[in-house]
Structure 1
Amino acid sequence: MKLSASDLSAIEARLGARNYKPLEVTLTRGEGVWVWDIEGKRYLDCLSAYSALNQGHCHPKILAAMTEQAQRLTLTSRAFRNDQLPLLYEDLAKLTGARKILPMNSGAEAVESALKVTRKWGYEVKGVASNQANIITCSNNFHGRTLGIIGFSTDPLAHSHYGPFAPGFKTVPFGDFDALAAAIDDNTVAFLVEPIQGEAGVLLPPAGYFQRVRELCTKSNVVLVLDEIQTGLGRTGKLLAQEHEDIRSDLTLLGKALAGGFYPVSAVLANNDVLDVLQPGTHGSTFGGNPLGCAIARAALRVLVEEGMIENARVQGEYFMGKLRALESPLIREVRGRGLMLAIELHPEAGGAYKYCERLRDQGVLAKDTHVDTLRLAPPLIIKRAEIDFICEALSKVFD
């Protein structure tokens, strides 16, 4: 017997922990930029699983790589070598110029790895006194949900009633260079920051900010860690968002689209010797660098480049931004973003963005709100102009 959407929602309500408030739509199939619910209605996915689906739903070449590898070898642990991990290393190094790479699974694991390795580097290389290292982060950050990470979150929903938290973190306002400069001291080992704050509402720093940050971190012997888990791999119209200011981080964190939505794969990329402080036994992951994940990630990177998705994100992103700025509605306070990482912030009197996501759903477009008043728009990077027109027509009806 086929269960209805209400039947499935009832099972979730009865058995599932209520840590999410999903939009009321039950999906069963996806292809490219489109998804279908169990009643057969089609929607344009304008969230891309928080940018994990840059390559679109069920990309056939990534699916083929996954199927082939799953029939050969899925997991060895790092106790033994496998024939896919070295090739992923090579692909990432050629694409990004990274000197060393640490494979992990989730984005949060990549962030935790960066926190551990920069502290270890601080003690063993920079010469910080034992247990005195500090790491600077930004207000309104989102780097994951682990206990270590939420300890430096400024979002009350993320950290309330989870303490006590680990010490050793300082918080400065995002985009405030003077505050960062004032916060750095002799014990500062790293500055962890998103090039664009996605969960905060697609917030961009002032122009030239990251060039000044790069110079400051170099001068102060501080590791610059850029969390590109959401902004990386083409989302902003460049392979990495840091390229917009022509800088290179010391550590770059990748995840989400690294496996095209097929598997959790993340990586810490080092442009210097920071990762050299890791020795056998000091850090690890049973599934990190597994052959199945590596084969999938290699295919995901390949199609991203060979099929021109990064350039398409730039071109279509400019077109999309123009269409959004042409929307005429007193409800809209600001339109902002870069590439296909866009947001519409509404005035408070609009009554919150969630109800507009519900109205968009009824028009065949799936998007999600963040920070109450902001509507995020991040379709797969394969989107075409006609599909952007479809989204904007839906937006016009919703805001009319």
Structure 2
Amino acid sequence: MKQPPLIWTNIIFFVTTFVGAAILVPWRGLNHGFDAVEWAWFIILAFAAGLSITAGYHRLWSHKAYKAHPAVKVLYALGGALAFQNSALHWASDHRIHHKHVDNNDKDPYSANRGFWFSHIGWMLREYQPERYNDYSNARDLQQDQVVMWQHKYYLWLAAAMNIGLPLVLGWLHGDIISMLLLAGLLRLVVVHHCTFFINSLAHVWGKQPYTDRNTARDNGILALLTYGEGYHNFHHIFEHDYRNGIRWWHYDPTKWLIRGLSWCGLAGELRRVPQEKIDAALLQMQLKQTQQRLLNLSNADELLDKLQREYEELKQHLIAYYEVKKHLLEAKRQQLAHDHLLPQVAELKRRFQLQRRNWQRLTANLGA
């Protein structure tokens, strides 16, 4: 099959920046060295660029997981230009297509089923879907956003200002323009590129699938460290409109913390969260499916599968009952109605649900051993 035409602009850009960072940064480090200020700006700008992609391009504009103040949007637009991953309009349009057609080799712009290289960077090196490039019909809402359209119109100028002008100014103020350009400019750009590219590639091949196996997305706590919290990708692909990716308090998700912090300051609002009962239901469904698959080859599989199914149905009923009464309690509190009579019921249903869940976990652990 004939390969699509190469996109030489992208190829030259990616090769030049990567080779330049691999050669010039070590050369400068060995012959001149980098000081703490230059490393500090490398880290600051890396997080500014990366979080503008994850909190801005991804969770705000692609998935509308929350609303942000116009000043925050402007900062995201500048940080997105610093990340140099195209405009927010183009990025979000591509990403919405990815979620709609995930793993479809013909429609997903960076389908993981086409291999690690393709989903990581290869999809940007050839004209695989040229008809998609200027089609923003799935992002009409973003075309009404003045900040998005301002950044889209002046994207190349903004990208040049943020990636060349800003490091130049910082280097001039610090007294070492070359070192700042190489570290906070060039190396930072390459590192941010490949860390965020890992979300499309590595996050679809490395990790666990605790919530769904209907796509290739994986949860990986280690990868979250490199991707500003986006490593909990299996959760994200089933609950894409949740402003969180790491839902536990110990999950490393600086994007979630940034959004929550902005909400405390009045700079973000309407943070969307998936109801906990839906998360628990997805977890239970996957635990059931995975345990069933492990039992299929056993001699007494039918008996064990029946037992497993009975326990699952009982646990599911406990889950539904507990969260239903909890909803009534929260609604009564919201409307400032009398709710004392609900408290014992909620406590008892919670106790039964937790007991049944512990029994379920022991059962699935024993059957999976």
Give the structure with the higher percent helix.
Answer: 2
Answer whether TM exceeds 0.5 for this pair: no
Structure 1 length-normalised TM? 0.25
In terms of fraction of residues, the more strand-rich structure is 1
Name the larger-Rg structure: 2
